[in-house]
Amino acid sequence: MIVEVGLLGCGTVGSGVVELMNRRQGKIADMTGLRPAIKKILVRQVDKPRPVELAPGLVTNQPAEVLEDPSIRIVIETIGGIEPARTYILQAIASGKHVVTANKDLIAVHGAEILDAAERHGVDVFYEAAVGGAIPLIRPLTEQMTANEISDLLGIINGTTNYILTQMTETGADFADALAEAQRLGYAEADPSSDVDGLDAARKLAILASIAFHARVTLDDVQVAGIRSISAQDVRFAEELGCVVKLLATGSDRAGVLSLHVRPALVSKQHPLAHVSGPFNALFVRGDAAGDLMFFGRGAGSLPTASSVVGDVIEVLRVIRLGVSGRVSRMYLPGKRVSPLHAAPARHYLRLTAADKPGVFAAIASIFGVHNVSMETVLQKRAKGNTADIVIVTHATEPGPLANVVEGLRALPQVEAVHNVMPVVEAPE
Amino acid sequence: MIVEVGLLGCGTVGSGVVELMNRRQGKIADMTGLRPAIKKILVRQVDKPRPVELAPGLVTNQPAEVLEDPSIRIVIETIGGIEPARTYILQAIASGKHVVTANKDLIAVHGAEILDAAERHGVDVFYEAAVGGAIPLIRPLTEQMTANEISDLLGIINGTTNYILTQMTETGADFADALAEAQRLGYAEADPSSDVDGLDAARKLAILASIAFHARVTLDDVQVAGIRSISAQDVRFAEELGCVVKLLATGSDRAGVLSLHVRPALVSKQHPLAHVSGPFNALFVRGDAAGDLMFFGRGAGSLPTASSVVGDVIEVLRVIRLGVSGRVSRMYLPGKRVSPLHAAPARHYLRLTAADKPGVFAAIASIFGVHNVSMETVLQKRAKGNTADIVIVTHATEPGPLANVVEGLRALPQVEAVHNVMPVVEAPE
């Protein structure tokens, strides 16, 4: 039996979906007894050349030809962004169509609205491709790990910043040069702010944390810092400390109090995340029974993203075949608070520039002493003129005292700047 | 509504299952609307002390009290081994009970028989815990990755050998000492042959390959070599070559021709698998759309294994709740051949001991030349008496010419021994 599918958008992801659906049609029919067929593709410009060959009449610029065609039972959304994707998806749901989307922006901000609408209308919405590209994350968290209380998420979930930081580590380049190279190669956009300022990762973290911690987490709950301040010096110092600099998305749940951050961190080379380079993504998940698990793979790209989209389409078909559409349960246990101050004690890296003269280090050390934060490692290097670059790694410290130390250091006349403060992530035991 | 559960065995895994089921009972009821309750536990000795506290009357040594109790709807098998586990499971299935098992030996050898019986009787059998302990592997391969044709599996799926090889790498110990230490710590059994000779990994590979490649693969289809021959020298030479020695389970599907191996290999330190140490397991999967994915986590242990077992129990409950028991599809596309000779060209490491005198190296090199295998790197070291240890890394070569080279080298009077021949695994691009 043929199941008609409508596709919204035919860019990088959309054309990958068309190609993969064509490639897998026979196998999908063997597996599910249902043969998906793309009936209509909504695009802005009908006559634009595409990376995949499309039968004439397949594309349209009229949303109604997809959304109001009662024969279309599944709508795949690959437009991205909030509008018009949100309106189209809600309209599809209201018409009783199942939805598969790769849209992280939309799910991060309007996920609850969309899932509630799906529940009311008895249809399914799947969004595996919204986070981590090809990597199965949403369904392992929703299904296979449900025997666990998940306490921690730790991930590299933005490929652009990971590519830039990998380049900085491998070539010694500074941030601006590595960004320019990433833009030249198409790994970073002309306006790179959503990636390099951490917002893209924060959206994905909001989605993952909602599922892992059974809470309704939105973008505003995530504390975000990007990688613009990371310099070639930080990368070199990290190397000396046996670490690499990564933009980490971290979430923790301590007895229902959540803490959510996207920020650069030093990751020990003994930690598997340190070896996630270039365009790859990875997510560490800690469960009370499973212990540490990691999921790794391509975080973006046409076919990798299509892998998750078409995987979701197959799940929709299985669910149709079983006759249980709209009953595949979602669960939120409400009532968890999101607190930005709660964080486990961690070692921290601080890099500062100070006057290179006698007594300065004593003044710096006394600030640490006053706030009862103890120093584990000190590196002093590459003095320029009358200044010295100083890196201090603390023993495990709470965020409160650490913030006081930073404030105290910034108030010291001998300290020119405190450049970067980053947690240091150890290998799992 | 309460769903009665019977447990077979209460050892390391079984007692973890009891503990985790108790911990999660409320959450499972919230999620599925069904509350699982362990009604009876089959053990050999009723009065033996256990790691978990059990209500009086919960344990029995009479199989019938679990298998013939019509109120028990789910049977969890944690006994391990072929018999009596196989008989008990088939009996449970015939009585219309769903089965969750952690038994790799049984699934690797009798998986088809058990799944066929389940299909006939309209019940579900899940076995996520049989491979990779806590790591979700079976269901991601069966469900989330179905949009892919999977071409390659590459995994570290035996914790004992990984612990031993990690110790050899970190301490420079020889195999015998590292094994003795692993036995002292309980990571290796008194008779370690199933682990160190690669059979345990081969069983797991047979299970994974059956699912990933849609074929009925059994243990006999896997070419197996263990790690007894790996010496401290091999580990040191690997280090010089930027690699670590790992026991790898590899499977490939080239147009329906399968190749399945368990054998030691050199893994580039740039490859994420190189950093899977100690008791951790990891599986790399290559799909035509997703590209490379890796799944990482604890491969054994009481609660990690229970995480997968109880995750399967929750899936059985979801399926009961949805009213689709026995209809969750399994798919085998028959007709794939298993060929031990098919293997992609790969760089190979050879270590040999030869007489340390003029002309020997020319003789060795000529063997390579005759068979058209080219050498990429040569290391000659640590001569003892009149002999030299020689390591040769080839350029990418097919298995046929390589076997001819090894045969030719062994026939040379100047060559005392060819110790180890291992493929070299590069980092994914």
Residue of A419, A420, A404 whose CA lies nearest to A368: A404
Domain extent, residue B213, equals 140-297
Q: Residue A270 belongs to a domain with what CATH number?
A: 3.30.360.10
Q: What is the distance between the alpha carbons of residues A321 and A305, in angstroms, rounded to a whole number?
A: 25
Q: Residue A102 belongs to a domain with what CATH number?
A: 3.40.50.720
**Pair of tokens at residue A18:** 């068309």
pLDDT at A7: 98
Query: Inter-chain contact B297–A298, Cβ cutoff 8 Å?
Result: no
B326 touches chain A (CB under 8 A): no
- Name residues of chain A where pLDDT drops below 70: 329-335, 340-343, 382-383
Residue of B152, B182, B150 whose CA lies nearest to B250: B152
CA A242, A244, A245, A250 dihedral sign is negative
Q: Is residue A174 part of a domain?
A: yes
Q: Are residues A52 and A86 in the same domain?
A: yes
Domains held by chain B: number: 3
B-proximal residues of A, 332-351, CB under 8 Å:
333
Query: Which residues does chain B have within 8 Å of residue A301's beta carbon, measured at their own beta carbons?
Result: 291
Please tell me the distance in Å from A24's CA to the nearest CA on chain B. 7
Helix, strand or coil, per DSSP, at residue B354: strand
Query: Inter-chain contact B30–A331, Cβ cutoff 8 Å?
Result: yes
Contacts of B303 by beta carbon, 8 Å cutoff, 6+ apart: A288, A289, A290, A291, B16, B19, B20
Q: Is residue A365 part of a domain?
A: yes
Q: What is the distance between the alpha carbons of residues A81 and B398, in angstroms, rounded to a whole number?
A: 49
B242 is in an annotated binding site: no
B243 is in an annotated binding site: no
A313 touches chain B (CB under 8 A): yes
Q: Are residues B181 and B291 in the same domain?
A: yes
Q: What is the distance between the alpha carbons of residues A421 and B260, in angstroms, rounded to a whole number?
A: 48
Which residues pair with residue A296 across a beta bridge?
A282, B294
Cis, peptide link before residue A84, omega less than 30° from 0: yes
Query: Inter-chain contact B313–A270, Cβ cutoff 8 Å?
Result: no
Q: What is the distance between the alpha carbons of residues A93 and A120, in angstroms, rounded to a whole number?
A: 9
Of A140, A311, A318, the CB nearest to B147: A311
Q: How far is CA A212 from CA A107, A246, A362, B186, in A?
A: 15, 22, 45, 33
Query: Inter-chain contact B310–A147, Cβ cutoff 8 Å?
Result: yes
Q: Is residue A327 part of a domain?
A: no
Query: Which of A307, A317, A318 is most worth mutating to test chain B (most B CB atoms within 10 A of its CB)?
Result: A307
C-alpha distance across the termini of chain B, in Å: 51
Please tell me the distance in Å from A31's CA to the nearest CA on chain B. 6
Strands A98-101 and A125-126: what pairing?
Answer: parallel
A15 is in an annotated binding site: yes
Q: Are residues A162 and A246 in the same domain?
A: yes
Q: Are residues A7 and A82 in the same domain?
A: yes
B15 is in an annotated binding site: yes
Query: Inter-chain contact A311–B272, Cβ cutoff 8 Å?
Result: no
Q: Is residue B150 part of a domain?
A: yes
A198 touches chain B (CB under 8 A): no
The number of angstroms, rounded, from the C-alpha of A201 to the middle of its chain's C-alpha atoms is: 4
Q: What is the distance between the alpha carbons of residues A151 and A369, in angstroms, rounded to a whole number?
A: 32
Which residues pair with residue A344 across a beta bridge?
none
Q: Are residues A314 and A232 in the same domain?
A: no
Q: What is the distance between the alpha carbons of residues A192 and A178, in angstroms, rounded to a whole number?
A: 12
Of A292, A307, A309, the CB nearest to B287: A307
Which residue in B has a C-alpha nearest to residue A145's C-alpha?
B311
Residue where a domain terminates, one of A322, A357, A378: A322
- Give, to the nearest 10 degrees, the angle between helix B104-121 and helix B199-212: 30
* Backbone dihedral region for residue B335 (phi beyond 0: left; psi -120 to 50: alpha; all else: beta): left
Q: Is residue A338 part of a domain?
A: no
Q: Are residues A211 and A317 in the same domain?
A: no
B318 touches chain A (CB under 8 A): yes
Of B275, B304, B331, the CB nearest to A289: B304
Of B134, B282, B289, the CB nearest to A303: B289
Residue of A249, A253, A222 whose CA lies nearest to A150: A253
Q: Give the angle A207-A306-A155 at the CA atoms, nearest 5°.
A: 35
**Amino acid type, A365:** A
Q: Is residue B338 part of a domain?
A: no
**Amino acid type, B377:** T
Q: Is residue B343 part of a domain?
A: no
- Tell me the average confidence (pLDDT) per consecutive run of 10 residues in chain B, 429 residues long: 96 95 93 94 91 88 97 97 97 97 94 92 95 94 92 96 96 96 90 95 95 89 94 93 95 90 93 89 97 95 96 94 77 63 81 88 93 92 79 92 94 92 86
Edge to edge, the sheet with strand A35-42 lists: A59-60, A35-42, A2-8, A72-77, A98-101, A125-126
Q: Residue A386 belongs to a domain with what CATH number?
A: 3.30.70.260
Please tell me the distance in Å from B320's CA to the nearest CA on chain A. 12
Q: Are residues B226 and B148 in the same domain?
A: yes
Radius of gyration of chain B (CA): 24
Q: Give the angle A113-A114-A116 at the CA atoms, nearest 5°.
A: 65
**Pair of tokens at residue A14:** 């959309």
Q: What is the distance between the alpha carbons of residues A77 and A7, in angstroms, rounded to a whole number?
A: 6
Query: Which residues does chain A have within 8 Å of residue B32's beta carbon, measured at their own beta carbons?
Result: 329
Helix, strand or coil, per DSSP, at residue B217: coil
Q: Are residues B402 and B292 in the same domain?
A: no
Residue in the block written with tokens 């599918």: A5
Q: Are residues B121 and B159 in the same domain?
A: no
In tens, the pLDDT along A349-404 reads 999 999 888 888 899 999 999 999 999 999 887 667 788 889 999 999 988 899 99
Which residue in A has a C-alpha nearest to residue B272's C-alpha?
A275
**Pair of tokens at residue B358:** 């003029």
Residue of B404, B407, B403 whose CA lies nearest to B223: B403
Query: Which of B144, B169, B325 is most worth mutating to test chain A (most A CB atoms within 10 A of its CB)?
Result: B144
The number of angstroms, rounded, from the C-alpha of A209 to the middle of its chain's C-alpha atoms is: 11
Q: What is the distance between the alpha carbons of residues B300 and A47, in angstroms, rounded to a whole number?
A: 56
Q: What is the distance between the alpha carbons of residues A423 and B360, in angstroms, rounded to a whole number?
A: 56
Residue of B129, B130, B128, B202 whose CA lies nearest to B161: B202
Backbone angles phi, psi at A168, to 5 degrees: -60, -40
Query: Which residues does chain B have within 8 Å of residue A309's beta carbon, measured at their own beta carbons?
Result: 147
Q: CB atoms < 10 A from the CB of B371, how many?
A: 17
The number of angstroms, rounded, from the C-alpha of B310 to the middle of its chain's C-alpha atoms is: 20
Query: Inter-chain contact B295–A292, Cβ cutoff 8 Å?
Result: no
B156 touches chain A (CB under 8 A): no
pLDDT at B272: 86
Q: Is residue B237 part of a domain?
A: yes
Of A28, A146, A290, the CB nearest to B134: A290
pLDDT at A215: 87
Query: Which residues does chain B have within 8 Å of residue A303's beta carbon, measured at their own beta carbons?
Result: 288-291
Q: What is the distance between the alpha carbons of residues A130 and A108, in angstroms, rounded to a whole number?
A: 9
Residue where a domain terminates, one of A262, A287, A322: A322
A-proximal residues of B, 110-149, CB under 8 Å:
128, 134-136, 139-140, 143-149
Q: What is the distance between the alpha carbons of residues B203 and B206, in angstroms, rounded to a whole number?
A: 5
Q: What is the distance between the alpha carbons of residues B64 and B42, in angstroms, rounded to a whole number?
A: 9
Q: How far is CA A429 from CA A292, A344, B155, B276, B296, in A?
A: 9, 17, 20, 11, 14
Q: What is the distance between the alpha carbons of residues A258 and A254, in angstroms, rounded to a whole number?
A: 6
Query: Which residues does chain B have within 8 Å of residue A328's beta carbon, measured at their own beta carbons?
Result: 322
Task: Please tell me which residue in A39, A40, A204, A246 is annotated as part of the active site.
Answer: A204
Residue of A309, A300, A79, A318 whose CA lies nearest to B148: A309
Contacts of A22 by beta carbon, 8 Å cutoff, 6+ apart: none
Residue of B39, B48, B43 whose CA lies nearest to B68: B39
Helix, strand or coil, per DSSP, at residue B13: helix
Residue of B128, B126, B422 whose CA lies nearest to B283: B128
Backbone angles phi, psi at A278, to 5 degrees: 60, -135
pLDDT at A343: 67
Q: Are residues B146 and B112 in the same domain?
A: no
Query: Which residues does chain A have within 8 Å of residue B5's beta carbon, measured at their own beta carbons?
Result: none
**Amino acid type, A282:** A
B11 is in an annotated binding site: yes
Please tell me the distance in Å from A410's CA to the nearest CA on chain B. 39
Query: Inter-chain contact A16–B289, Cβ cutoff 8 Å?
Result: yes
Residue B204 bears catalytic tag:
yes
Of A16, A30, A135, the CB nearest to B293: A135
Query: Which of B148, B162, B286 is most worth mutating to test chain A (most A CB atoms within 10 A of its CB)?
Result: B148
A-proximal residues of B, 32-61, CB under 8 Å:
32
B242 touches chain A (CB under 8 A): no
Query: Inter-chain contact A298–B289, Cβ cutoff 8 Å?
Result: no
In tens, the pLDDT along B186-210 reads 888 889 999 999 999 999 999 999 9
Query: Which residues does chain A have within 8 Å of residue B134's beta carbon, measured at their own beta carbons?
Result: 287, 289-291, 293
Q: Are residues A24 and A84 in the same domain?
A: yes
Q: What is the distance between the alpha carbons of residues A199 and A225, in angstroms, rounded to a whole number?
A: 8
A-proximal residues of B, 402-421, CB under 8 Å:
none
Query: Inter-chain contact B324–A329, Cβ cutoff 8 Å?
Result: no
Q: What number is the ipTM of this complex? A: 0.91
B65 touches chain A (CB under 8 A): no
Q: Are residues A310 and A275 in the same domain?
A: no
Element spanning B101, H or E: strand B98-101
pLDDT at B414: 92
pLDDT at B343: 67
Please tell me the distance in Å from A312's CA to the nearest CA on chain B. 7
Which residue in A has a C-alpha nearest to residue B19's C-alpha?
A289
